[in-house]
Structure 1
């Protein structure tokens, strides 16, 4: 698979917050209506405090960055017009009053079936889609992606502060999200039939209500001919989202090259992967990582360097080697969303400082946004 066929698209979920307190605000319908008037298509999420954007299909990282930035700028203006602030944050940093469920029949069924899991949702992630030939190929590629999922999570962790306190985790969203019975890393699947049998069991058991509730962190997309990576917190900045998308794209291309040479993905055990996930959620970029393939404990930057070596030929083919190198160096120097939250919070233990930092990061690189 080459750069022309391994196209990429991104979905980002955002929190709508009170401009004064930073608390979640239930206005996704109003913000989506304003966006529609401007020709921007927003998806409504499970709770009324969230909205989701979707990019088009791209084969150029610079063009992807431009669209992501335009979407954030545009939606921020729509949010402002409705008295809210757009935050690229994976969980609300303030104490939420409640998370009202969006009045869509499917979401109401989920709320009824899953109780507090749905009512305490309010979690915002980022989903990266990379084009693949078919479902079977998507599953084979997923097996190659499984060992790298914790590293993608560590790179983009952006949920350290929740309900006004330091959670002790870089990605508290990841911990909360995995309470869902279909969330987390998928099993290693040997065939489409094996995958379909697992989904059928989940449906019959009631652990999912429909196939859209297969929430695994990498899966064949139901809507597009893509493999979809869903492990990430929504990144604090557009630069970090583009870095994630480019690394995922290059990893998919590397997997395709391995498959073309009849090389199988390493069968990482569920227990090792679970440990790697916990470690990634706990320390993010600022600590050690578990290398799921070799069982080593190593500094996150060292494992990131190994990832860059692994996907290097694909990055060269994409022409994105310098972009990734520069962006990664910037994130390691400045810190990702979780580190920015913690730095802001620890100065005065004021969650308002966290909200201010997140609001600035959300629109980093955008022109000033004002209501119209």
Structure 2
């Protein structure tokens, strides 16, 4: 649950109509005891430790959550560097107070009771939403510079068909309370209980967007605009479009892949809008089915193709996404990098696959060690270079 502050990400889009939109990323992490894996209720101590080292971390709803944010980035090389830096900062700050920070969508060893961070806004949420707020879920939010709100809502419409594919590709929360949930993204299942979560509506204009938000505030479905939990939303105070559909990816390199695809989707949508091509109006039941299938199967099973309504392999759905944005990726020189990274994820598995594989062949201790390692690991990047060498 991001509470965006005046972050350098805010500069993304402040420039005059850049040909390639800028990007910034926020990542949420679970704080745990490094020996037992049980949630560590000390996000304020971790944030203070980071501040002493010159880094800024954001508190989240639960006391065992913490969030990082990159500055505005102009290319994937810069973003990769910034993500490695922020992940190193959060893990170092956690270690300084006897904790570990894990890149996983939910705590594998179970959330603690009464773990709400003692901030007035979060206390209001507990009072209003009750036990719904007693959750620990960690996502990743990609900001793409787009200052024109009217254009941004049109882009949101164009992104809706592809959101389930992004969810499947980054699924990283199959284990909760020491057991396999049966879902690649249990975070999505928990997150979807919020009345403002899920795919955004199809908006006719920026005014329509504002009218819907005003009604949600009037009905107290949300308490403030930061509680707009749609998977694509306009930032309330930053000139960006924010895509927040995914689990926090297992590795920094998988986050780079997500950001590359999101920016390419936005760029592709801008081209379609400029050419006068409207976004498809999807059947809500079809989109809901696509989301559920993505959360359940991740990259190892099937996907609902939102264009045809047919069931296809997750691999085929991912390939269609890459084909859809290929021209945008080629313009930025990112196509080969993205193609290799996608093949790596599909071949070696994403976070959900690795968590399940580790638990099937090892112990909960092995799972904890694996998550600790991959949070700051670059194994996917190394595999991606190998894939590139083979092409």
The Cα offsets for residues 90-121 of structure 1, whole Å up to 9 and x where unpaired, read as 100003332511111111101111111112x1
Alpha-carbon separation, structure 2, partners of 1:267 and 1:99? 41
What pairs up with 1:135-284 in 2 under 5 angstroms?
A: 135-284=149-298
Equivalents in 1 of 2:268, 2:18: separation in Å?
11
CA distance in 2, matches of 1:239, 1:166: 25
Instruction: State how 1:30-69 maps to structure 2 within 5 Å.
Output: 30-69=45-84
CA deviations 1:107-150 (Å, max 9, x no partner) are 1101111111112x110000001111311111100000000000
Q: Could you tell me how far 1:3 is from its partner in structure 2?
A: 6.6
Q: Which residue of 2 aligns with 1:10?
A: 25
The aligned residue for residue 94 of structure 1 is 109
Which deviates more, 353-362 or 242-251?
353-362
**What's the CA shift for 1:336?**
0.5
Match of 2:366 among 347, 353, 367: 353
Alignment partners' CA distance in 1, 2:192 and 2:64 = 20
Distance 1:62 1:99, change over 3 A: farther
Which residue of structure 2 aligns with residue 370 of structure 1? none
In 2, distance between residues paired with 1:221 and 1:267? 23
Unaligned runs of 5+ in 1: 367-372
Task: Tell me, in whole angstroms, the C-alpha distance in 1 between the residues paired with 2:348 and 2:108.
Answer: 20
Asked if 1 retains the 8 angstrom alpha-carbon contact of 2:110 and 2:177, the reply is: yes
Say whether the 8 Å CA contact 2:23–2:259 is kept in structure 1.
yes
- Whole-Å separation in 1 of the counterparts to 2:317 and 2:199: 19
Q: Distance in 2 between matches of 1:196 and 1:365?
A: 41
Identify which range, 225-234 or 94-103, moves more after superposition.
Answer: 94-103
Is there any run of 5+ residues in structure 2 with no aligned partner, and where? 1-15, 380-391
1:158-200 per-residue CA deviation (whole Å, 9 max, x = no partner) reads 0000001100000010000000000001111111222112111
CA RMSD of aligned residues (A): 1.4
Counterpart CA distance in 2 for 1:186 and 1:321 is: 28
> For 2:247 and 2:378, how far apart are their aligned partners in 1?
20
The CA deviation at 1:205 is 1.2
Aligned 8 A contact 2:20 2:267 in 1: no
Give the Cα separation in 1 of the matches to 2:370 and 2:114.
Answer: 23
Query: For each residue in 1:242-279, what CA deviation from the matched residue of structure 2 results, as whole angstroms up to 9, or x when unmatched?
Result: 00000000000000000001110011111100000000
- Which secondary structure does the structure 2 equivalent of 1:22 belong to? coil
Runs of 4+, deviation exceeding 3 Å: 1-5
CA–CA distance in 2 between the matches of 1:330 and 1:289?
Answer: 19
8 Å CA contact 2:47, 2:56 repeated in 1: yes
- Separation in 2 of the partners of 1:142 and 1:365? 31
Shift of 1:5: 4.1
SS at 2:85 equivalent: helix
> 1:327 aligned to 2:335?
no
CA distance in 2, matches of 1:208, 1:109: 11
1: CA distance, partners of 2:307 / 2:237: 31
TM-score by length of 1: 0.95
More deviation, 354-363/253-262:
354-363
